[in-house]
Amino acid sequence: MASILVIDDDSSICESLDLYLSEEGYRVRTAMTGTDGLNLFVEESADVVILDLRLPDVDGFSVLEDLQEEDENVKVIMITAYHDMETTITAMKLGAFDYIHKPINVDELDIAVRKALKTVEMEKKIDGFLMEPSRSFKTGDIIGSGPRMREIFKTIGVVSQSRATVLIQGESGTGKELIAKVIHNNTSLNEPYIAVNCSAIVETLLESELFGHEKGSFTGAIARKQGKFELARHGTVFLDEISEMSLNLQAKLLRVLQEREVERVGGKDKVSVNARVIAATNKDLHSLVKQGSFRDDLFYRLNIVSITIPPLRERPEDMAPLIDHLLTKNNIELHKRIGGVSEEVMDMFLNYDWPGNIRELENLLIRAAVVSQGQILGKNDFPELLKDKAETKSLKPADEGRDEDGRFLTLDEVEERHIKRVVRETNLNKGEICQVLGIARPTFERKLEKYGITFERD
């Protein structure tokens, strides 16, 4: 039987809450002063404490802090007749589980109590989990246990023994820069790592940023400036979103990669450079080459060692360890003690497409950790996913079998759409796609030809 302690100086409230909560099946104790309430809690802790903000002997906030010193996991629902914003914010900042105004709405109180008790129940299931030594956190960890991630780890190990140029491809949020940093740290730990976002700097400034400029080479160039390639010395230059670089600048970068020297803007002297280049993109560079928006010679120069990161939706085996890793990181940065997510949330995560990949997962966990009052994150801590799930349910299943005019698709049309979707939404090679589709390689090749589907990944 769950226990509830009511601390309020109004005898009528104590009596009415005692009567109501006892009828609901809870074991209830009451106190009319903060001191008596604290003594009762020390004698026997309660699952939930309903605490009045204004008490005759001590401030309710002080009682809240004393309760937390006695039991840091105590769930305190504060009640007050004051409706000002400041006290509400203060109560939540100090760790109150919920905050209810007088006169007390029984339904609102009932929801708050049930929510608090459910949180207590989930926390008891993982009692001690937060203190396990396995829950360590190290900046720069790459989490992954599936076959494709293991192959990436092998590639990182091999490429770290050389200074070959590396091309990292993957959707936004998959961790391309993290992999670049791991390669750098395993190759040139004592040398600089310099990252440049090619999409965030206009072309004229990007050239100066990369290669440097001489004094007076353009308006505002009041002194000589070294470029990123010079500053990196024997370290790493990470070129993020390389696909956004103009064709003119691509040609200059190609010369740097081939000749290992740069020429500052407005200068005539050539400067030797020894930095390793790691480039990254969330686009298919091979397709951009065919379209003429990316130089083929630069592509081949960059693509000496290629790493393709799978999207999060194709890594279900990594979901649990990723959550564990990110929550541990968040606990350190936010000074929280989040122990995990509920089974309902895990099911939601495994059935979600994750268009923003690991970055989206991390942002959702940070937001949930900030607003959650418990140690276990429940589905109500992720309103964005609940909304997405509701919108998905509102779609008619039969719609996928019809065209825009409502006409039923033929079997060939359904097959063509499905194959195109698998090719478009995954980074799998032909052999892996054959396994997904459940067909042999020759059959897959015939269907690509039949439907005119271009496939250039292997």
Task: Look up the CATH number of domain 149-308.
Answer: 3.40.50.300
- Looking at residue 98, what is its pLDDT? 87
Spell 66-93 as b/e; 16+ CB within 10 A means b.
bbeeeeeebbbbbbbeeeeeebbebbee
How confident is the model at residue 316, as a pLDDT? 92
Q: Which residues of 399-431 are buried (b: 16+ CB within 10 A; e: fewer)?
A: eeeeeeeeeeeeeeeeebeebeeebeebbbeee
Is 149-308 the same fold as 3-125?
A: yes
- Residue ranges of domains in the chain: 3-125, 149-308, 314-394, 397-451
Query: DSSP readout, 160-177?
Result: TTS---EEEE--TTS-HH
Query: Under CATH, to which class is 397-451 assigned?
Result: mainly alpha
Query: What topology does CATH give the domain 314-394?
Result: Helicase, Ruva Protein; domain 3 (1.10.8)
How far are the Cα atoms of 198, 213, 246, 271 from residue 204, in angstroms, in the given order? Answer: 12, 11, 10, 20
CA distance 21 to 17: 6
Local mean pLDDT, 10-residue blocks, the chain (458 residues): 93 94 94 95 94 92 93 90 77 85 89 88 58 45 84 89 92 93 86 92 86 79 86 94 93 93 85 93 91 94 94 93 91 86 91 92 93 84 72 47 69 85 79 81 84 74
CA 102, 105, 106: angle at the middle one, nearest 5?
A: 130
The token duo for 446 is 């015939």
CATH number of 3-125: 3.40.50.2300
What is the model's pTM?
A: 0.66
Cβ neighbours around 103 below 10 Å, total: 9
